[in-house]
Structure 1
Amino acid sequence: MRPAWPRRLWRLSTGRFGVIVCAVILATAAAALLWTPFDPQHVDISARWEGPGWPHVLGTDGSGRDILSLVMSGARTTVFVAIGSAVIAIIIGMALAALGALTARWVRESVAVLVDILIAFPVLLIALMIAGVWGRSLWVVIWAVGIGFGVNIARVTRPELRRVLHSDFVVAGRASGLTPAQNLYRHLLPNVAPVFIVQVSWGMAVAVLAEAGLSYLGVGAPVTQPSWGLLLAELQQFLTVHPLSVLWPGLAITFTVLGLNLLGDALRDVTDPTLARADGRERAPEVIA
């Protein structure tokens, strides 16, 4: 039997919005791998600052580059950073959570102290420290967000693992001869999946903002890499003269982050049994301060 939560997710307006936005961004990034209307780095001085029209649907910048092509190429960078950060966060978060929940007491306490120390450092500060050592690169953003949100995943998931660890079905599994690894795979991970999925979706939203912000500051994507943050940094100098050009990368960042956050909220509502009604209809999302 297929799980009911995808249907419940689609019935939620926030879930539909998040799914549609994420699908559009993924489709745009995939299309940009094969085709863009123009070469994103092609300079055409004769086409400087053209308004939206044909053949430049979103207009051009001060170098005559096609803004639609730049936005499409920037989607590739955004998806790469979001997925790369999520993978690193998952590995770090689950490793720390498992160490903090399934090992000896002194190891658990050491992991708890390490997590408390690392979580005190904001993601952007971690990125700036890594950039000071390794220089300007997308990997700076990926590792910074991956480490920052991996620690956050560990902080949230570790208590859940500890709670499930002492539940009756886990104790019965241990008594029946299941190894710790088998218990982790069969019982522990499925029960912490709702919290885990939501944290990953929110971490990807932070990755999008971090990449745009760090690229805007000049420590994220290199100048040869199309990026929404870089595009904003270049176009904001002409905001008062050509305000429409800044609108497109700004909208792309806004809708992507909003879509990921709303998708995370919707996933929380449909995967957490305490937030779902018995008849399958979801209650209104709680407001998180």
Structure 2
Amino acid sequence: MIARLSWLRRLWALPTGRFGVIVVIAIGVIAVVSLLWTPFDPQRVNIPARWSPPGWPHVLGTDASGRDILSLLMAGARTTVLVALGAGAVATLLGIALACLGALTRRWTREIVAVLVDILIAFPVLLIAMMISAVWGGSLWVVVISVGIGFGVNIARVTRPELRRILHSDFVLAARASGLTPAQTAVRHLLPNVAPVFIVQLSWGMAVAVLAEAGLSYLGFGAPTTQPSWGLLLSELQTYLTAHPLSVVWPGLAITITVLGLNMLGDGLREATDPTLSRRRSAAASHTPAVVA
């Protein structure tokens, strides 16, 4: 068990991994806390307090309706976590299924899957989301499903060649010769060895899911107006950008930090779970000539 969890120590030792872990945990804690408590009701309209500057009791100020911006950001974190986890789950299921079908099945099945992936990957994620929203209406589930499909296909495209390469490794051939079924071989040997590539793609997909939700909500295709969302809040506040520029900074900063944290967490996880990267960096550092003063 200690050996299996050693990658957690390596992840925390990396600056990128530490930053990503802190950001992701902070967003998750804020989302959970907002279920139980926020400084004010996020949807409470208080006209006398409209456009209050940052201070007490409104730490980040209020908007044009007198709603507390900090409370809106805390409630919007729930939407962000929901979209990131939902899109990640859909992308994981679809990506692993397509990758296994494209790497472990007969030749004609692999070719069909490869053509299907090439066709689906030609459509941008936001375009798919907007097309689905035009038919079914804007909602968070549309964002989750469309982003999950888009990045599930991308995960399959990247993971499938890695599976094919590992499939011809000596340890996989030995496992098959020992009597393991294809499913057992995939679970015990193939998927763990493509985990670093998969994790990076998944974290990047979750980061773009946050951006996609914010962008679609900004355009009116994402979260409904009754549900707090960082993108929706940014859309409402940007109307008053010239008069109250500071109010726009907070939702934009929340989106930026979250996406940056997810991307850096993915980079840290890739290095922590792939020992060959750390060995190569250590070897390169040991052969770096010292600078003579």
Q: Same-fold call, TM > 0.5?
A: yes
Q: Is the 8 A contact 1:124 1:210 kept in 2?
A: yes
In the alignment, is residue 77 of structure 1 matched against residue 73 of structure 2? no
Q: Percent identity?
A: 75
Give the unaligned 5+ runs of structure 1.
284-289
The whole-number CA distance in structure 1 between the counterparts of 2:39 and 2:283 is 44
Q: How does 1:244-255 map to 2 (within 5 A)?
A: 244-255=246-257
SS in 1 for 2:194: helix
Q: Is the 8 A contact 1:8 1:281 kept in 2?
A: no
Give 1:271 shift.
2.0
Q: Is the 8 A contact 1:29 1:73 kept in 2?
A: yes
The whole-number CA distance in structure 2 between the counterparts of 1:6 and 1:94 is 24
Counterpart residue number, 2:223: 221
Give 1:276 shift.
0.9
The whole-number CA distance in structure 2 between the counterparts of 1:265 and 1:181 is 29
SS in 2 for 1:277: helix
SS in 2 for 1:276: helix
Question: Is 203-212 or 156-165 further displaced after alignment?
Answer: 156-165
Counterpart residue number, 1:58: 60
Give the unaligned 5+ runs of structure 2.
286-293
Let me know the Cα RMSD of the aligned residues.
1.5
Distance of aligned partners of 1:117 and 1:279 in 2 relative to their CA distance in 1, 3 Å threshold: closer
Amino acid across the alignment from 2:121: I
Amino acid across the alignment from 1:182: Q
SS in 1 for 2:279: coil
Give 1:105 shift.
0.4
Distance of aligned partners of 1:244 and 1:5 in 2 relative to their CA distance in 1, 3 Å threshold: same
In the alignment, is residue 113 of structure 1 matched against residue 115 of structure 2? yes
In the alignment, is residue 243 of structure 1 matched against residue 235 of structure 2? no
Distance of aligned partners of 1:235 and 1:279 in 2 relative to their CA distance in 1, 3 Å threshold: closer
Q: Could you report, residue by residue, the CA deviation over 1:198-246 in whole angstroms, capped at 9, with x for unpaired residues?
A: 1110000000000000000000111111000000000001111111111
Counterpart residue number, 1:67: 69
Counterpart residue number, 2:168: 166
SS in 2 for 1:221: coil
The whole-number CA distance in structure 1 between the counterparts of 2:84 and 2:64 is 29
SS in 2 for 1:133: helix
The whole-number CA distance in structure 1 between the counterparts of 2:119 and 2:251 is 35
In the superposition, the TM-score normalised over structure 2's length comes to: 0.94
Q: Could you report, residue by residue, the CA deviation over 1:159-203 in whole angstroms, capped at 9, with x for unpaired residues?
A: 111111111111111111111111111111111111111111000
Amino acid across the alignment from 2:213: E
Q: How does 1:173-212 map to 2 (within 5 A)?
A: 173-212=175-214
Amino acid across the alignment from 1:131: S
The whole-number CA distance in structure 2 between the counterparts of 1:206 and 1:99 is 25
The whole-number CA distance in structure 1 between the counterparts of 2:226 and 2:175 is 54
The whole-number CA distance in structure 1 between the counterparts of 2:92 and 2:256 is 24
The whole-number CA distance in structure 2 between the counterparts of 1:26 and 1:247 is 21
The whole-number CA distance in structure 1 between the counterparts of 2:248 and 2:131 is 29
Q: Could you report, residue by residue, the CA deviation over 1:230-287 in whole angstroms, capped at 9, with x for unpaired residues?
A: 000000011111111111111100000011111111122222233112797997xxxx
SS in 1 for 2:212: helix
The whole-number CA distance in structure 2 between the counterparts of 1:215 and 1:6 is 35
Q: How does 1:126-137 map to 2 (within 5 A)?
A: 126-137=128-139
- Give the length in aligned residue pairs: 283
